[in-house]
Each structure stands twice: as C-alpha cells, then as structure tokens.
Structure 1
Amino acid sequence: MSTIFDLKIKVSPEHIDVLGHVNNVVYVSWMQDVATAHIESLGLGIKQYLELKHAMVAVEHQMQYRKAALEGEEIILRTWLHDINALYSFRQYAFYREKDQTVLFTAMTKWACVEIATGRPKRLSPSFTQAYQPISEALNPFDFTTLYLT
C-alpha cells in the first residue's frame, strides 16, 4: 500500500519570478521532483524503469494555484496516488506552507505506462500495480498535522 509522501524544500531566489513569487513553471518542476522521490521510496523508480524497459509518463495535468509562495519560505511538497487501473495511475499533490499550513497549490497528474524504446502505450505490469497503490481511504492527505518525511 502506498502512502502520503512529503518533501520539504526552501524557496530559493532562482524560484522567484519578476512578480516576486514562485514562478508557475517551478510548481511543475516540483511536481516531478516529489513524484520522482516518492516512486524511488516505493522501490520502483527511474533505475527500475530502465531495467523493465517501460516507464510512467505524464499525459495530463490539472493544477490550481491558490496562494503565492515567497523566497525563504519552507514549503512541504505532498503527493499521493489516489487511483490506478490497467492503463493509468493518478497522482495528486498539495503544496503547503509549513509554518501556517496554508495550501499554496493543488494538482493532479494522469500517468500512462509506455515502452521506453517505442513510446507506445503499455498496460501496467504487475511491478507497477503492486508498487503504486492508492492511499488508504482512512488517510486524509489534507490533514497537515502529520508530516510524512523520509
């Protein structure tokens, strides 16, 4: 069973745009960073993708920017898997400011399995379906009183 995964970061000057807050494209980069860290922690990361000759690739993002993140703030990048079927897995994200638990950004990504050599879609192998399980319905990923740091 997969669980909630948190990654703590500090907003750096290179994350800031001309308007003085984190640039929109940085959030997409953070989505990839936290998803990659999460799959690595589940034991089915990039190295295993290459060995298996297939990988998960993003095919759709839905994002909502809720509040600005500013330089120097400590941010928790939270992610979890919320659904999986034979062709896709669905990952959600909630990025929040640690000091006051304000949600800054939420998103969902639809991931598809592809053969690395051809880029063609592939049904999820048992390796993926066993490692990438949705979180328990008993967990509330928007309860920020618990950190899931590794």
Structure 2
Amino acid sequence: MSSIFDLKITVQPEHIDILGHVNNVVYVQWMQDVASAHIETLGLGVLEYLKLKHAMVAVEHHVQYRKAALEGEELILRTWLSDLNALYSFRQYAFYRPQDKSLLFMGNTQWACVEIATGRPKRMSPTFTQAYQPLAADVNPLDFSEYDSLR
C-alpha cells in the first residue's frame, strides 16, 4: 500500500497575485510539485521513467479552491493515490494551513501511462503497479491532527 505524502512549504512573494493571495495556477504547480516529490520517495521518479522508457502524464485535473493562502503562511501539501488500473493512476490532493486548521484546497488528477518515445498509451509495468498502490481504505487522508501542535 502507498501512503500519504506531505510536503511542507511557505508561501513566497512570487506565489501571490494582484488580489494579494496565492494565484490559482500556483495551486496546479503545487499539485505537480507534491506529486513529483511523492513519486521520488516511492523510488519511481523521473530518472526511473527514462530508464523504463515510459512515464505517467496528467490527462485530467479537478480542483476546488476553498480558502485563500497568503504570503508567509506555512502550508502542508498532501497527496495520495486513490485508485489504479492498467493504464491510469488517480491521485488526490489536500492543502492544509495548520495555523487555523483550514483545508484550503482539494484536487485530483488522472494520470496516464505513456511510452516516452511515442507518447502513446502503454500498460503500466509491474515496476509502476508495485510502486503506485492506492491508499488503504481505513486511512483518513484528511486527518491533519499531527500538525495541530505547529500552530
């Protein structure tokens, strides 16, 4: 089984838009950043993709913005895998602000396995399916209580 993966960040000035909060497109970049960091810890990052000659590419994102994030705030970017089949993996995201126990953002991405040389769909190799396991059903990915003492 895969696990929840958390990436702690601090909102930087370059993340802020004209309205004074994190720009919407930054959240999508953070989805990519935390997913990339997660796959590296699973032992199946970009270098392994190149060796195996196939990779996972995003084909669909769904996002839900709940609350604004501001410069200087500490955030927890959380991701986990929720489902998997021969061609696709499904990744979930929840971004949390421990300071006020706020869930700021929820999202999910459908990733497709493709052959790097052609860009065509490819069945996931056993290397992929072993690394990209969905989160156990009894784990609550929205439990951020471990961060409550960080306030």
In 2, Cα distance between the equivalents of 1:3 and 1:52? Answer: 23
Aligned counterpart, 1:7: 7
In 2, Cα distance between the equivalents of 1:146 and 1:135? Answer: 18
Q: Structure 1 counterpart of 2:99, which letter?
A: K
Aligned counterpart, 1:66: 66
- The structure where helix makes up a greater share of residues is 2
Q: CA deviation at 1:101?
A: 1.9
1:37-116 equivalences in 2 (<5 Å): 37-116=37-116
Q: Structure 1 counterpart of 2:41, which letter?
A: S
> What SS does the aligned partner of 2:108 have?
strand
Deviations 1:39-94 (A, max 9, x none): 00000111100000000000000000000000010000000000000110000000
Deviations 1:88-111 (A, max 9, x none): 000000001121220111000000
Q: Structure 1 counterpart of 2:67, which letter?
A: K
In 1, Cα distance between the equivalents of 2:77 and 2:67? Answer: 14
Fraction of identical pairs, as percent? 76
Q: CA deviation at 1:146?
A: 2.8
Q: CA deviation at 1:22?
A: 0.1
Deviations 1:99-133 (A, max 9, x none): 12201110000000000000000011111100000
Unaligned runs of 5+ in 2: none
User: Which aligned segments of 4 or more residues in structure 1 are displaced greater than 2 angstroms?
Assistant: none
In 2, Cα distance between the equivalents of 1:7 and 1:101? Answer: 16
